[in-house]
Amino acid sequence: METWQFLAHGIVQGVGFRWSVQLLAQKLGLPGTVRNNPDGTVTIVLQGEPETLRKFKEELPSASQFAKISRLDVKVLPKMEKMHSFHVLY
């Protein structure tokens, strides 16, 4: 089990992107969070097996027909508390 943080840049706010992220994460059985940032980016934190997290990363660009990800930064977060569900944060 790993915890990954994704930082999505581009047209990712005001286009339903967080809800698309939630649907994709739930489809893949990944608990975590998604939130808008003041700088226009979106932060996604997910927990799961590395192969499932890689699948999420692969499918994310096509999860929303309106969002356009120009860059996606990914890092592994060490020693995170276990997450049990997915939440959209405000």
**Is residue 71 flagged as an active site residue?**
no
If one counts the domains in the chain, the total is 1
d(CA 68, CA 80) in angstroms, rounded, equals 29
Q: What is the mean pLDDT of residues 61-90?
A: 94
**Is residue 18 flagged as an active site residue?**
yes
Structural domain for 15, as ranges: 1-86
Residue 89: exposed, middle, or buried by beta-carbon count in 10 A (0-12, 13-18, 19+)? exposed
pTM of the model: 0.95
Q: Could you say which of 36, 37, 54, 71 is catalytic?
A: 36
Residue 90 has pLDDT above 90, yes or no: no
Asked if residues 4 and 60 have their Cβ atoms less than 8 Å apart, the reply is no
What's the residue count for the chain?
A: 90
Our separate counts of H helices and E strands in the chain read: 2, 5
Tens-place pLDDT, residues 54-67: 999 999 999 999 99
**At 64, which CATH number?**
3.30.70.100
